Structures are given as structure tokens and as C-alpha cells.
Amino acid sequence: MNKQQVFWSRVLQLAKNKLNQGAYDFYVENAQLLSISSNRAQIFLDSPYKQLFWDQNLKDILITAGFEIFDSQISIDYQFTHDTPEREVVSEPIEQLQSVMQQKSQQPLHPDIKPQYTFENFVQGDNNQMAKAGALAVADNPGSLYNPLFIYGGPGLGKTHLLNAIGNWILGNNPHARIKYVSTETFINDFLEHLRLNDMENFKKIYRNLDVLLIDDVQFLRNKASTQEEFFHTFEALYGKNKQIVLTSDRSPDYLDNLEERLVTRFKWGTTSDITPPDLETRIAILRNKCEDYPYDFTDDTLSYLAGQFDSNVRDLEGALKDVHLLANLKQLTEITVDVAAEAIRARKQTSPTNTVIAIETIQQEVGNFYGISLKEIKGAKRVQHIVHARQVAMYLAREMTDNSLPKIGKEFGKRDHTTVMHAHNKIKNMLIDDKNLEIELTTIKNKIRH
């Protein structure tokens, strides 16, 4: 098998795991991979209306398989007619494959953008309509309409999701766009690190030669005078060249105290949109959207019940679905009733709300405790199997439970490369597909981390 065939059979395998037999037969059976080149896959579907299903349900699978096999982000084009008469998968000349692999090494300029956060899977409600519209407008016309775009709202309401969705959308239109997603915490550390190394030239190169800067949680700039100064110049440099800046914060610019006035003023230059907690109807819609990922039937009552239990935060809603999943798995249920849901979320109800930012070291510590391995070994270089496994679990959780970029996570694990983290993440994610024990282990560890 060539790489392309390996990729396609992996896609089919993941789709089979995810979908029920009927859906698989209908949507996937007749699909074909026509070609892959320059990280774009051409997929044949025998009807245009099947594309929506692929976009909504199989995109993450294609992306996962893309990372696994080609180690880079694959974008997808759908085709509904056959230009070529053969039904066979077009085999890809080795040189072409090599060029794909070479491009890969130049391409991960944005290993920090999470492919799973898209506009398609961002459920719209009255609470986030303006923010989503603003984000879409900016993604369609970076640097021209609203600059900067400032999105604010409480924790777990989708700010990070929207920032990444903007990034993914722009990259979809132009894979070569120079985009950076950065948490403010990372920006601060990056700045201090370059300052310490007397390497500000490089810092400027990284942050001032962008088409789009997506900066998350700018409230963390408060009280950081020297970083504020540097950020001001970064802002000026980008803004002056009509480059797009998108900022998020947990509060409106007017309430950002201990922040230089000139920054606050600039944050309001473009447009400001808030996200408020979703109403019941939107929460049900979000649950309905997310529960498609699970192989159970949720009754309408159950969805209303769950939506009624968590009213301030989408992250808690997602957590509730995961709790339900775990219990249903243990009990081998296929239908989720209100009683099951109530039992599943009992622990979460007692301990919520927990929206504190999780430190990577907390994750390393708890994973270490669970597997009986020291923090030093988790961060170290030993290649003994059980240590490697624990390390990979910790990397996976750091990716899943925090907003840190791959390079940042890599750095926290003894200065490893971001591709190591990506590999670990993919590996554990795939193991989870059919390893129930691992899933239970992870839930236990996660609960420890959160409390």
C-alpha cells in the first residue's frame, strides 16, 4: 500500500468505529479518495448533499488520519462527478508524496491552531450571534472590516473556539497565510524569554510579520507593564500594515484595569462583541450537536434535563456528556434516560464550578501519581515502556485540558519538539477508540486534576 491508500484505509477504519452500520453504509461505503497532493485530499461522494454529513461528522477523522499518516493538516475538497473513468484510487507517484512530506516540514507554522474548533461545529444562539458573525466577517476579510476584533465573555463560552475557527477558516482559504494563535500567557513568557536571551530581533520577526494575530485572554496583560509596552508595539506594527488582530478577554475593555490606557483605546478601535451564557434552547442545541459523537440515543428529556443542570458554561455541558458516556459504557447501555444522566453527573454537580486554569505541571503530577512515576521521570528522557506511556498520557491530557500550544507543551516535557506532543496525542486518542480501561483511567486522572 502506498501512503495514500494507508491514509484512506485509516479513514474508513475510524469512520467505521464512529458511525453506526447504517450511516456508514449510506455515507461512506461509496466514497472514494481520488487523490492527495499538496496536503489537499479530493474525495468523491456520490451525491452533493452527503457533503454536509462529511463536514459535520467525518472532518475530524480526516484530520486525525492526515496527522497520523502525513503528519500535517489535510484540507478536503469534495467532488461529485468522476473526471477519471477508473474507480480505483489514483496512486500517487513517489515524488509527489515526497514533496508532500517535504512541504510538511515547512508547513507546521501554526501547530498552535486546533483543527477541531471550526465555525461549522460552533452552535449559534442569541448569546453568541454577534461574536460569531464578527469572527466570520474577519475570517472572510482579514484586516479590512473589523480591526481589531475584540471578543469577551466568561469562561467556557467559546472564545478560544472562535479564535481557532477564524484561524482554520483563513487557512482553508489560504494555507500559506501567516497566522499565529497565542495565549497571552505564552506571549508574556515568550517575550520574557527573548528578552533574557537578548534576542528581541527574533521576537519581533515572529510577531510582527503576521497576516493575522489571534491572541487569547488579554486580561492576563494586566499589571505586566513591560509586556504591555511590547504588545503595544506589536499591535502598532500589525495594525499599521492592515494586518488582522483578534483579541479575547474575560471582560470588556472598559473593565481592563491596570492596563495602559493607549492599549484599552486601541482594543476598542474596531468592534467589540460579547458572548453571554447560552439560554436553555441554545444549550439543548449544543448538547444535540455534541451527542452526535456518541453511540447512544439520548432522549429529548435527557437533553433538556442536562441542559437544565449546567447553565453558565459550555465546558460543563461537554463534561456532563463525557460523564454520561463513561457510565453508559460501564453499564453497556444504548439508551440514555434522565435517571442515567442524573446518576452520571452527580459527582460533577457536587464539585462544580471548577473553571480554574489547569497547569501542565498539575497534569504531570497527577499522571505520575496514578502510574507511580516521579515528575522527573515524566519530564525526563527515559524510554522505558511504562514511563513512555505515562508521559504520552500526560501530553495528551495537557493538549486536551489546557489551551497551551504544542510547542509550549513540548517545552514543559523536557524541551521536546511539538511533533512529539502531536504524536503522543494522536497515539492516545487512537488507543482510546477501543480501550475502555484506558478511558476509565483517564477519567479518574482528570477528576484528580480538576479537584
Buried b / exposed e across 45-83, counting CB within 10 Å, b at 16+? beeeebbeebeebbbbbbbbbbbbbbbbbbbbebeeeee
Torsion angle, alpha carbons of 4, 9, 13, 19, to 10: 80
Among 64, 160, 249, 273, binds Mg ion (CB under 5 A): 160
Binding mask 107-146 for ligand ADP (x = CB under 6 A): ----------x---xxx----x------------------
On whether 427 is known to bind a ligand per the annotation, the reply is no
Buried b / exposed e across 222-250, counting CB within 10 Å, b at 16+? bebeebbebbeebbebbbeeebbbbbbbb
Stretch that binds ligand ADP, among 101-109, 148-156, 321-329, 332-340 (CB under 6 A): 148-156
Judged by beta carbon, residue 161 or residue 389, the one nearer ligand ADP is 161
In whole angstroms, the minimum distance from the beta carbon of 213 to Mg ion comes to 16
Cα distances (angstroms) measured from residue 331 to each of 328, 337, 426, 444: 5, 13, 27, 17
Instruction: State which of positions 303-332 bind ligand ADP (CB under 6 A).
Output: 314-315, 318
Length of the chain: 451
Judged by beta carbon, residue 160 or residue 272, the one nearer Mg ion is 160
CB atoms within 10 A of CB 181: 25
Say whether residue 55 binds ligand ADP (CB under 6 A): no
Say whether residue 284 binds ligand ADP (CB under 6 A): no
Q: How many residues bind Mg ion (CB under 5 A)?
A: 2
On whether 156 is known to bind a ligand per the annotation, the reply is yes
One DSSP character per residue, 219-278 reads GGGTT-HHHHHHHHHHHHHHHHTT-EEEEEESS-GGG-TTS-HHHHHHHTTSEEEEE---
CB-CB contact of 96 with 37 (8 Å): yes
Stretch that binds Mg ion, among 75-83, 151-159, 191-199, 256-264 (CB under 5 A): 151-159
Judged by beta carbon, residue 70 or residue 117, the one nearer ligand ADP is 117
Say whether residue 282 binds Mg ion (CB under 5 A): no
One DSSP character per residue, 372-396 reads T--HHHHHS----HHHHHHHHHHHH
Say whether residue 277 binds ligand ADP (CB under 6 A): no
Say whether residue 251 binds ligand ADP (CB under 6 A): no
Residue of this chain nearest to ligand ADP (CB atom): 158
State the cell numbers at 10.
Answer: 485509516
As separate numbers, helices (DSSP H) first and strands (DSSP E) second, the chain gives 21, 10
In whole angstroms, the minimum distance from the beta carbon of 308 to ligand ADP comes to 18
Say whether residue 186 binds Mg ion (CB under 5 A): no
In whole angstroms, the minimum distance from the beta carbon of 248 to ligand ADP comes to 7
Say whether residue 273 binds ligand ADP (CB under 6 A): no
Euclidean distance between CA atoms 377 and 431, whole angstroms: 22
Instruction: Tell the residue number behind the cell numbers 432522549, with chain if given.
Output: 299
Q: Which amino acid is at 294?
A: Y
Among 10, 161, 408, 411, binds ligand ADP (CB under 6 A): 161
Say whether residue 357 binds ligand ADP (CB under 6 A): no
Helix (H, G, I), strand (E, B) or coil at 21: helix
Return residues touching Mg ion (CB under 5 A): 159-160
Binding residues for ATP: 156, 158-160
Annotated binding site: 156, 158-160
The contact set with ligand ADP (CB under 6 A) reads 117, 121-123, 128, 153, 155-161, 286, 314-315, 318
